[in-house]
Structure 1
Amino acid sequence: MFRLRVLALTLLALIFSSLSGWAQTSEVEPPAAAPENVVEIPAAVPVVDLDDPAIRAALEAREAADAALAEAVRKQAEEAQNLEGKGTGEGEKKESIIPSSPEDIKALAASIGDKILGWLKSPSFLAQVGAIIFAFIVSPLVGRALRKKVFLFRDPPVEDVKFRLIRDYIYRARNLLRPIVFVGLLAAFAAILTAIPAAGQSWLVKLVQSLAVVFLLYKTITEFVGNELIRKIAIWTVIPLALIMTFGYFDDLINALNGAQIMAIGDTPITLMTVILLLIFGSIFFKLGNVANAKGQSAIRSQEGLDAATQEVVGKLFQMVLFTIIFILVMGAAKVPLSGLVVIFSALSLGIGLGLQPIAANFVSGLIILFDRSVRVGDYVVLPDGQEGFVEAINMRNTVVETPDGKDIMVPNTKFTEEAYENWTHKDPRQRYEVHFSVAYDTDIDTLEDMLIPEVLKHPQVLREPEMPDLEFRSFGDNGINMAIEFWCDGIDDGPNKFTSDLNFIVWRTLRDNKIEIPFPQRVTHVKSV
């Protein structure tokens, strides 16, 4: 290229000199014709000296300028092609790392072999492999020694030991000693190899250490998470996330989740990351809220200065305030603006108006029951359908009534605000009961009261107030005189087998001991002879 340009410049110089000579000869008269026998000597042609430093530098500068111009044009063309490919979706395809021909396979195998051979010849790589093997062999030995020597790992905690819950977790962690020691040894070896000039590298040790941490997380989840569903969710979310962090794609994942917008509340976008944060913080905070609620309810119900109804009201108020605070904390942790809750509550109001009216009605009825104290925990109620039992709990949607035979009835709260029902213990837990029996017509009934009442008063649950037990003549029966004893007791007769059963036994034994006949149906048949 350089020689062609020099030749072109030489020809241009020759042409320029020829034109200059022609211009000078055209201005003067032409010379006389030379004799034929005279030979004309041509004028000397000027010669360009290419070794002249000035010409040489000019030519090199021109060549560099041409090369720079060609490179700029090429880059501009490539950029235009890339922009066109991005706009149409047909950009230049990246070179595939998957071999497509036998030659590519051979070349890939050769490059891999050269890489492995280079590693095997590298002292730093061999030092890292030796450190990993040493940590893998030593970690089970150290873990086994800790199990035998440390009493917290050796002996399970007894029932009444102090800090039993913490001791139990420490004892269960004995199964994690091997991976913990393995991770610790790898961390130490990574620091040592980095500090030694002869080694200088620890990338392989750090990679194995990261994978060991992922395995430790898996073992921790399987050992300490008892709920099957939560264990599966943790394994399929925490473990992949840990692997993504290990191989350095965590920032890309976060950017992708933040870029996937679902909706917007005002000026704040709701992305997939927001939803994930809501699920994570919601599960954590509400789990902690359930624990705090259980502890708080236990503390409230242990206050002897409050009656059962007041304890229930205070407990429900505590529960409502606690979960309201938790809801605000979850929304704040997920970076959802509280001003946007107006939209959520508007949608909730619309849902209540369309299909959630029964739930809202039961919720409001539950609050009314708690505050007006028409039904309290421990009351004995008879429902409109005839079922009866003790009120065990008053929830936000229903009231739990436990029947005398141990069954729980979930009664909607609206039943107690819209329908009639019986509350036996609303104002006074004392109840009046009756025991019915019959005696023969030839019995001296004037002596029955002095005979039976003292025996009835011997029962520890029979009261003398508001009325003393008394004997009543009820009716003349077909087979005898129908009598009844009325008595008062503190509490509810647990079915027909509590107070009334005890009093029936007392009446029967007393009549038997005093030779008083309890009649039973008889038929007298007269045979008339013919």
Structure 2
Amino acid sequence: MNSQWVVTLMGWAQSASDIALGWLLSPAAWSQFILLALAYLLARAGAKRLGPLLTRLLDPGQKDGLLAKLRRFSLGFVPLLMPLFAYALTAGGEEVTRSVFGSGEVVALGKRLFLFLAAQSFVREVLTDSFLKLLGKYVLIPCAALYMFGLLDLILQRLDDSIIALGNIRFSILALIRGLVAGSLLFWLGSWSNRQSAGYIKAQDELRPATRELAVKAIEVAIFGAAFLLLMSIMGIDLTAVAVLGGALGVGIGLGLQQIAANFISGIILLIEGQTTVGDYVELDGGERGTIVKMTARACILETFDGKWIVVPNEHFITSRVVNYSDQGSANRYEALFSVAYETDINRVPAVIESAVAALPFVLTDPDRPDCELRGFGDSSVDFAVEYWVNGIDDGKNKYASKVLFAIWNALKAEGIEIPYPRRVIEMRHV
């Protein structure tokens, strides 16, 4: 096999040498070289004049919007003016030289050369995404180089004739390469489309957060599902085989991936019902509590008050008790405990504390004002609690409670009410 390729390469080299020698000795070939040089100079002069004009026309400046984005996108293709102008001129000149000289191989080679230069400029100056640059560098430019020398069709035919057999499955190397390139492009395009659509949907503030998340997930499934089916069609795989594979996959999910399937279905139910959504502060039976910052197909991510993330499977939100402390800014009630000495006139305490807590700017009067209650008689103190309402969640240590306790302390000190500490009486007996 290797020796066959060596013989083939030597044959190509000998053929190229004969062609080059024939061109050097042919007046018609020299005329075509002159035409190529003129086409290059004209294309360069045209691009030099037209390039700045197009740049000024297409530059959107600081503007934003769909039209500005399209103009900014078109502006990236300005570096292709010179090779594309030269390609157009040589494409027209090829017809002329073939009618005048009866041949146009030199001009045809020049046309393919300018197309190769356009591919290089496209990869180097137009593409900005790192993945697309990599694909252009190792796929587009080599293909353009092979096309320039007229070897692309021959190489493709050779790759198509090379068959790989894996049991009963047979496919050519060309089909494998085509599938890899097409799959890479399709899934990159799917990922880009998914990011764009997700950004647009999440910017629609009139939609509920659960509706936005559900729409994002639905579009994601639709985009990548369509990309997968299109890839199967490009590779020439019968879609009936995909149906069989889908049935086998369903059996596998039913037997071995029950938890993943359960979490996926639970995630869809959560998004549809909307009882818990991104931004809610929740507490589960297992003790996990925090703000939902992200909902995925498999789990919800809670952020605790100290910045830690807890990944909770979606199934837990369906099968266990969930306490939702928030509904996008609803009022919530909390309480602060304190004690006073037994010598205190406890009838004065409720009015003093309720007035002090009500003066805090974050404490609400609706649905109810602060309420101070007697809770019990301890060993060394009389125990009270003050209940108060705030707009939001006390999702961190000392967010509201600290300020309330400070207000209670200051109010008791101002009224001369003692906050007790444990006291013990020791009786000494002399025998």
Q: 1:358 to 1:275 in 2, by over 3 A?
A: farther
Give the structure 1 partner of residue 282 of structure 2. Answer: 381
Give the structure 1 partner of residue 429 of structure 2. Answer: none
Tell whether 2:316 aligns with 1:412: no
What aligned pairs does 1:166-315 form with structure 2 within 5 A after superposition? 166-195=70-99, 197=100, 199-259=101-161, 260=163, 262=165, 271-294=172-195, 296-297=197-198, 307-315=208-216
Distance 1:138 1:405 in 2: 67
Q: 1:143 to 1:315 in 2, by over 3 A?
A: closer
Tell whether 2:353 aligns with 1:452: yes
Residue identity in the other structure for 1:436: L
CA contact (8 A) 1:435 1:503 kept: yes
Distance 1:221 1:141 in 2: 23
CA contact (8 A) 2:55 2:75 kept: no
What's the TM-score once normalised by structure 2's chain length? 0.76
Distance 2:74 2:329 in 1: 52
Distance 1:149 1:169 in 2: 16
Give the structure 2 partner of residue 402 of structure 1. Answer: 303
Distance 1:94 1:326 in 2: 42
**1:495 Cα offset (Å):** 0.6
Residue identity in the other structure for 1:206: A
Give the structure 2 partner of residue 5 of structure 1. Answer: none
Tell whether 2:270 aligns with 1:366: no
Q: 1:201 to 1:501 in 2, by over 3 A?
A: farther
Q: 1:119 to 1:285 in 2, by over 3 A?
A: closer
**1:336 Cα offset (Å):** 2.3
Distance 1:409 1:496 in 2: 18
What's the TM-score once normalised by structure 1's chain length? 0.64
Partner of 1:495, secondary structure, is coil
CA contact (8 A) 2:120 2:141 kept: yes
CA contact (8 A) 2:329 2:392 kept: no
Residue identity in the other structure for 1:446: N
Distance 2:324 2:397 in 1: 18
CA contact (8 A) 2:341 2:380 kept: yes
Deviates more, 1:423-432 or 1:340-349: 423-432
Residue identity in the other structure for 1:186: T
**1:436 Cα offset (Å):** 3.1
Partner of 1:446, secondary structure, is coil
CA contact (8 A) 1:380 1:423 kept: yes
CA contact (8 A) 2:210 2:272 kept: no
Deviations 1:301-344 (A, max 9, x none): 56677543344445434443454344334333443222111332
Give the structure 2 partner of residue 503 of structure 1. Answer: 404
Residue identity in the other structure for 2:84: I
CA contact (8 A) 2:54 2:78 kept: no
Q: Pick one of 412, 429, 432 that aligns with 2:333.
A: 432
Q: Pick one of 315, 326, 338 that aligns with 2:239.
A: 338
Give the structure 2 partner of residue 143 of structure 1. Answer: 47
**1:236 Cα offset (Å):** 1.0
Q: Pick one of 111, 126, 134 that aligns with 2:30.
A: 126
Distance 2:65 2:367 in 1: 51
Residue identity in the other structure for 2:72: D
Distance 2:125 2:8 in 1: 46
Tell whether 2:366 aligns with 1:470: no
**1:245 Cα offset (Å):** 3.2
Residue identity in the other structure for 2:62: V
Give the structure 1 partner of residue 56 of structure 2. Answer: 152
Distance 2:369 2:44 in 1: 80
Residue identity in the other structure for 1:210: R
Q: 1:481 to 1:132 in 2, by over 3 A?
A: farther
What aligned pairs does 1:84-99 form with structure 2 within 5 A after superposition? none
Distance 1:482 1:407 in 2: 35
Residue identity in the other structure for 1:309: A
CA contact (8 A) 1:180 1:216 kept: yes
Deviates more, 1:140-149 or 1:154-163: 154-163
Partner of 1:143, secondary structure, is helix
CA contact (8 A) 2:341 2:419 kept: yes
Residue identity in the other structure for 2:77: A
**1:402 Cα offset (Å):** 2.4
Q: 1:222 to 1:192 in 2, by over 3 A?
A: same
Q: 1:449 to 1:242 in 2, by over 3 A?
A: same
Distance 2:49 2:289 in 1: 63
Distance 1:160 1:304 in 2: 20
Residue identity in the other structure for 1:163: L
Distance 2:215 2:53 in 1: 50
Q: 1:341 to 1:433 in 2, by over 3 A?
A: same
In the comparison of the two structures, how many residue pairs are matched?
Answer: 419
Structure 1 unaligned residues grouped into runs of 5+: 1-90, 99-107, 526-530
Q: 1:392 to 1:222 in 2, by over 3 A?
A: same
CA contact (8 A) 2:59 2:71 kept: no
Give the structure 1 partner of residue 392 of structure 2. Answer: 491
Structure 2 unaligned residues grouped into runs of 5+: 427-431
Distance 1:299 1:95 in 2: 55
Distance 1:517 1:503 in 2: 18
Distance 1:444 1:452 in 2: 13
Residue identity in the other structure for 1:183: Y
CA contact (8 A) 1:148 1:154 kept: no
Residue identity in the other structure for 1:316: K
Partner of 2:347, secondary structure, is helix
Residue identity in the other structure for 2:358: L
Identity %: 32
Deviations 1:36-70 (A, max 9, x none): xxxxxxxxxxxxxxxxxxxxxxxxxxxxxxxxxxx
Deviations 1:457-502 (A, max 9, x none): 3555534455442112345668765432111234321312433244
**1:510 Cα offset (Å):** 4.0
Distance 2:112 2:32 in 1: 14
Distance 1:472 1:401 in 2: 34
If asked which structure has higher relative contact order (CA below 8 Å, sep 6+), I would say: 2
